Amino acid sequence: MATYKTSEFKKGLKVLIDNEPYQVIESTFRKPGKGNAIYTLRMRNLVRGTMLERNYKGGESIEGADVHETEAQYLYRQADTFVFMDTASYEQYELGEAQIGDDWKFLKESMPCSLVLWNNNPITIALPNHIEVEVIECEPGAKGDTATNVTKPAKVETGAEFLVPIFIKQGNIIKIDTRTGDYVERVSN
């Protein structure tokens, strides 16, 4: 496996620490008056989602993690297991609720996404930035309620609830930002 020297440290780098894969979230460099340069890495564990911060002296190296993304398609949910298919090899992968986390709210059958594999085992998914879902249940808006930013909960086809503007009705197709879970716009009536 590749090793990275301190001069190669950058955001997005995937490294192996204590036999677990981490992704560098932030890399800072400082040079004190005396001695070696110090590189501080803030990293997120790709398996557990926890954060870690470590300092490295100039010239040190760190082992790279065998982590890569592959294009996949969400197939279906079976109890607490989510089934995905690699679109290139047609191989199926199963991920549990713990690996998916709150991303289940955005999963629609046949939806394209990316599987994050470590040593050819799936550890998590990467969703597209936006999804379009149909509103299947919501309260009607109150007439005359014209205050700005009035929202109401709406249940969508994935089974999740999102806050939407008061003018959204059952049957509307809406766009949701998967990074924040916020309503973006109404796509169609």
Q: What are phi and psi of 148, to 5 degrees?
A: -70, 150
Do 18 and 45 sit in the same domain of this protein? yes
User: Which of 103, 126, 149 is the last residue before a domain boundary?
Assistant: 126
The whole-model pTM stands at 0.72
Tokens standing for residue 120: 């050819």
Do 72 and 117 sit in the same domain of this protein? yes
Do 59 and 93 sit in the same domain of this protein? no
Ordered per-residue pLDDT tens for the chain, 189 residues: 688 898 888 888 889 998 899 988 888 989 888 888 899 999 988 887 789 999 999 889 999 988 888 999 999 999 889 999 999 999 999 998 888 888 899 999 999 999 988 888 888 888 899 999 999 999 887 666 566 678 899 999 999 999 999 888 999 999 999 888 899 999 876
Q: What are phi and psi of 7, to 5 degrees?
A: -70, -15
Do 122 and 135 sit in the same domain of this protein? no
Distance (Å, whole) CA 92 – CA 79: 17
How many domains is the chain partitioned into structurally?
A: 3
Please report the sign of the dihedral spanned by the C-alpha atoms of residue 134, residue 140, residue 146, residue 151: negative
- Residue 35's domain is classified under what CATH number? 2.30.30.30
- Residue 175's domain is classified under what CATH number? 2.40.50.140
Q: pLDDT tens for residues 86-95? A: 999 999 999 9
User: Which of 23, 45, 63 is the last residue before a domain boundary?
Assistant: 63
Do 16 and 45 sit in the same domain of this protein? yes
**58 closest CA partner among 4, 7, 2, 3:** 7
At which residue do the structure tokens 């398609």 appear? Answer: 73
Do 163 and 136 sit in the same domain of this protein? yes
The whole-number pLDDT of residue 147 equals 62
Do 31 and 83 sit in the same domain of this protein? no
Do 83 and 109 sit in the same domain of this protein? yes
User: Which of 77, 95, 126 is the last residue before a domain boundary?
Assistant: 126
Q: pLDDT tens for residues 21-39? A: 998 888 898 988 888 889 9
Boundaries of domain holding 164 = 130-188
